[in-house]
Amino acid sequence: TQLLEQSPQFLSIQEGENLTVYCNSSSVFSSLQWYRQEPGEGPVLLVTVVTGGEVKKLKRLTFQFGDARKDSSLHITAAQPGDTGLYLCAGGGSGNTGKLIFGQGTTLQVKP
Amino acid sequence: DAMVIQNPRYQVTQFGKPVTLSCSQTLNHNVMYWYQQKSSQAPKLLFHYYDKDFNNEADTPDNFQSRRPNTSFCFLDIRSPGLGDAAMYLCATSREASDLYEQYFGPGTRLTVT
């Protein structure tokens, strides 16, 4: 069974601080996505990483896929209150079923 | 803009009273998913349709049913809601299963059971 372990589960920081969220597995994923979900809304796709070692940037957010495609990280530089939300990593399951394996999620609160 | 729409955004129902949640999409994606999400947790897949082929998750209660009359619409029926079914219900779509697995979510329906 493929699992994604996401950490930390909760993070409360001050505006301007940096943070990193980790997503780890013992399984290889063909792709991995990061979503952000604001309270009362559905998750919004931020990025998809596909190639081992790949790094993608989205403004202050940097996403990395591990060389072995078993882990990923999300780094936020100079966090702002607008970054507050639930961050979810999700990987493509085995057998090309179209189903996603989700991490447990990281609730981020950025205080002004 | 192409999108995933869920109606209603908020639904209140009584214990045991059937309720239907709806989802429509203008993305013309052939895969549609229903998830249940409880507070600050990851979404839990209930079932998905690959075109008209229905795929139920092994641990989805029989109380939950789904219909997909055409490509654009999908419905979630809860036959006899219990207090434990209060949650956010999310609909998502994706193109034909590929290595990217990208899913596009609707805004969700918050279900309250009284």
Determine contact: A96 vs chain B, CB below 8 A: yes
Q: How far apart are CA B73 and CA A31, in angstroms?
A: 27
Determine contact: A50 vs chain B, CB below 8 A: yes
CB contact under 8 Å between B100 and A44, yes or no, is: no
Q: How far apart are CA A20 and CA A16, in angstroms?
A: 13
CB contact under 8 Å between B100 and A48, yes or no, is: yes
Is the distance from CB of B90 to CB of A45 less than 8 angstroms? no
CB contacts, 8 Å: A46 with chain B = none
Q: In the predicted model, is pLDDT for residue A39 greater than 70?
A: yes
Model confidence over A1-12: pLDDT tens digits? 778 999 999 999
Q: Which of A83, A22, A23 is nearest to A58 (CA)?
A: A83
Determine contact: A24 vs chain B, CB below 8 A: no
Q: What pLDDT score was predicted for residue A96?
A: 58
Distances (CA, A) of B45 to A15, A72, A102: 34, 22, 10
Cα B15 off chain centre by: 20
Determine contact: A3 vs chain B, CB below 8 A: no
Cα B59 off chain centre by: 15
Is the distance from CB of A25 to CB of A4 less than 8 angstroms? yes
Model confidence over A67-112: pLDDT tens digits? 999 999 999 999 999 999 999 999 986 665 678 889 999 999 999 9
pLDDT tier, B105 (very low <50, low <70, confident <90, very high otherwise): very high
Model confidence over A43-77: pLDDT tens digits? 999 999 999 999 999 999 999 999 999 999 999 99
List the single residue in B42, B48, B108 with the smallest CB-CB distance to A98: B48
Q: In the predicted model, is pLDDT for residue B38 greater than 90?
A: yes
CB within 8 Å of B61: residues ≥ 6 apart:
none
Q: What own/partner pairs with CB < 8 Å and gap ≥ 24 does B60-66 have?
A: B64/B34, B66/B34
Determine contact: A40 vs chain B, CB below 8 A: yes
Determine contact: A86 vs chain B, CB below 8 A: yes
CB within 8 Å of A99: residues ≥ 6 apart:
A93, B45, B48, B101
Mutation pick from B4, B9, B101 vs chain A, by most beta carbons of A within 10 Å, is B101
